[in-house]
Amino acid sequence: MTRLADAGEEALQRIAELPGGQRALTAVNDLRTRVDDLTKKVRGIDALEARVAKLEKELAALKKATMPARRSTTRKPPA
C-alpha cells in the first residue's frame, strides 16, 4: 500500500510540474468537491420521494372522505 501511495504522489508531482499541470490538478480537485456535493444532494432525493408518496396517499384518502355522494337529479326546465 505504501509503494502504491508513493507512486501516486510521485505521479501527481510530475503532473504539477508540467505546463498547465497545476491548473489541471486544481480543476480535478474542484470537480471532486462538486461531485461530493452533488452526491449529498442526490441522497436526499430518496427521502423527499418517500415523503411525497406519503403525502399523496394522505391527500387521496382525504379527498375520498370529504367528497359527498353525487345525486342524480333532473333539472326542471325554466317556465
Which residue type occupies 25?
Answer: L
Residue 56 to residues 31, 51, 59, 69, Cα–Cα distance (Å): 37, 9, 5, 22
Q: Tell me which of 4-18, 25-39, 40-54 is least confident.
A: 4-18
Query: Residue 73: is its pLDDT beyond 80?
Result: no
Evaluate whether 13 touches 25 at the Cβ level (below 8 Å): no
pLDDT band at residue 77 using 50, 70 and 90 as cut-offs:
low
The fraction of the chain above a pLDDT of 90, given in percent, is 34
Residues 27-52 have a mean pLDDT of 92
Evaluate whether 32 touches 38 at the Cβ level (below 8 Å): no
Where are the domains positioned within the chain? 2-61
- Assigned C-alpha cell, 19: 505546463
Residue, of 62 and 22, whose pLDDT is higher: 62
